[in-house]
Amino acid sequence: MALIGKNIEFAAGLLRQNQLVAIPTETVYGLAGNALNDRAVASIFEVKQRPFFDPLILHVAGIDQVEAYALWHDERLKRLAEAIWPGPLTVLLPKKGNVPDLVTAGSELVAIRIPDQALTLELLKLLDFPLAAPSANPFGYISPTSAYHVDKQLGEKISYILNGGECRVGLESTIVGVEAGELCVYRLGGLSVDDIARITGPVKLMLNLSGDPKAPGQLKSHYAPRKRIFLEKEGLQFPEQDTIVGYLSFGKENEALKHTPNITYNLSESGDLKEASANLFKYLRLLDESAAHYIVTDFLPDEGLGMAINDRLRRAMAR
């Protein structure tokens, strides 16, 4: 398994040698490599078994570094970044020639963000290159929110995991760009659409549910456990007498929908969407590793972070 620790100098040394390091962020753990080195970037795709048509996100230490790799082509995006960074926001910008096409899957746009995690920010400040860092998990599986999750899935394939504890947001960053003059959200995430609109004005949702992503995290089937997920409202009948159901609930549980025997995890008993987002991937993973045969859940209120949680559930159910 991988070595786990908090030594950012050691992590920086490995990254300078074009090796991969798992890094913590406020959203999820990332599988990081030198974004300007084709060999390192190719290793990310290889270790994750990620298709090359799915682009990666560049992580930088400060907003002043963005212009080394991309162009601020819209004042609203820069204003949004200045207000949110470091934080769970990724912006899509026209890339410069030093960004490998492998990073952007051939697109002329590159996704960039500044993570809000102290260890990783210090690491980025030690490097003279940005880090490409998709989630540190096998492609399509539940995103990792702790060093333990990374080690269990990729520990035999990478040298080091920088341990920043559990991720406090628990959902990937929200991705925002501009299309036909309109500000667009391409991926829902840890920054709500309402929070964006308060800074920039009107925002359009452009959520891809196909096999041709314009931005990371847009594939129809993604973030999925190995076990099938069903919605409560489908009125499921499990014929097997000994079927165990994993129940992912939110707020006050519906007693009529409980199944015995069952395994229950409540995203937030108080109905707090921030708490629910922080727990989503962790509880999906626990249910996937449990004795449950199926996972049953329902959508959360489709507002604020609930929109991003519902987006992840829809992609996790798509097969």
- pLDDT tens digits, one per residue of 161-195: 999 999 999 999 999 999 999 999 999 999 999 99
Q: What's the pLDDT at 244?
A: 87
- At 232 the pLDDT is 77
pLDDT at 214: 61
Among 294, 304, 28, 20, which Cα is nearest to 168's? 28
Residues 45 and 21: their CA atoms lie apart, in Å, by 13
User: What residue segments make up the domains of the chain, in order of their start?
Assistant: 3-205, 229-317
In this prediction, residue 193 carries a pLDDT of 97
121: its two tokens: 């920010």
Q: Which CATH superfamily is domain 229-317 in?
A: Threonylcarbamoyl-AMP synthase, C-terminal domain (3.40.50.11030)
Rg (CA), the chain: 19
For residue 155, how far is the Cα from the chain centroid?
19
Answer whether the bond into residue 86 is a cis peptide, omega within 30°. Answer: yes
pLDDT value at residue 242:
72
* Residue-level pLDDT at 205: 94
The list of the chain residues with pLDDT below 50 reads 256
What is the CATH class of 3-205? alpha beta
Q: Token digits for 213?
A: 């992503």
In this structure, the strands spanning 131-132 and 30-34 are antiparallel
Other Cβ atoms closer than 10 A to 100: 18
pLDDT at 209: 58
pTM of the model: 0.91
